[in-house]
């Protein structure tokens, strides 16, 4: 009995069967990072979820339905992932530097979408800058663009005509 158990434990684990993924790895990695940014402050409201879907639609040219499905799959994968940085590594390895800066801009847009920046969100994005290999200047540029997008200038509101 013990010999049988030892033999089974000493065998190389078989790779799980390859399932046809509905979305490519790059899309799923970006979506999972956006989902993480939306949930990091433990208050992922409709504004943040809407921003995630909108950004994925625009960036990957997805339909509303496909973007919603991608978010659902990303939420599931993110919730079951044992490695917090698996998605950051996939983005770092699968995207060129300019694309990584664009992903960072999208992340900033998600955290700004609810009108407030929580300390957890700021900490996450700072750590992701390093994990994605984005320098400070490019990171600040991405943040400024996202802030401007999330807070468009309204001349009437500012008292200008």
Total residues found in the chain within this entry: 161
Predicted structure pTM score: 0.77
Across residues 5-10, what is the average pLDDT? 53
- Taking a C-beta distance cutoff of 8 angstroms, is the pair 85, 43 a contact? no
Distance, in Å, from the CA atom of 10 to the CA atom of 4, rounded to the nearest integer, reads 10
The overall average pLDDT reported for the chain is 82
- Contacts of residue 76, Cβ cutoff 8 Å, sequence gap at least 6: none
Residue 1: predicted pLDDT: 57
Mean pLDDT over 99-107 rounds to 96
pLDDT for 149: 84
Q: What is the mean pLDDT of residues 14-19?
A: 35
Q: Is the pLDDT of residue 79 over 60?
A: yes
Residue 56 has pLDDT above 80, yes or no: yes
Stretch 27-43: mean pLDDT, rounded?
Answer: 89
Model confidence band, residue 153 (pLDDT cutoffs 50, 70, 90): low
91's tokens? 């983005």
Interatomic CA distance for residues 128 and 132, integer angstroms: 6
């Amino acid at each position: 009995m013990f010999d049988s158990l030892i033999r089974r434990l000493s065998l190389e684990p078989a790779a799980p069967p390859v399932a046809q993924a509905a979305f490519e790895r790059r899309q799923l990695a970006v979506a999972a990072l956006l989902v993480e940014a939306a949930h990091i402050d433990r208050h992922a409201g409709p504004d943040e979820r809407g921003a995630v879907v909108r950004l994925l639609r625009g960036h990957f040219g997805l339909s509303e339905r496909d973007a919603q499905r991608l978010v659902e799959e990303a939420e599931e994968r993110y919730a079951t992932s044992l490695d917090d940085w698996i998605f950051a590594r996939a983005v770092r390895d699968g995207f060129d530097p300019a694309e990584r800066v664009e992903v960072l801009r999208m992340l900033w847009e998600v955290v700004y979408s609810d009108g407030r920046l929580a300390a957890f969100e700021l900490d996450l994005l700072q750590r992701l800058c390093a994990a994605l290999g984005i320098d400070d200047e490019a990171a600040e540029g991405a943040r400024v663009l996202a802030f401007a997008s999330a807070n468009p200038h309204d001349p009437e509101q500012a008292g200008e005509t």
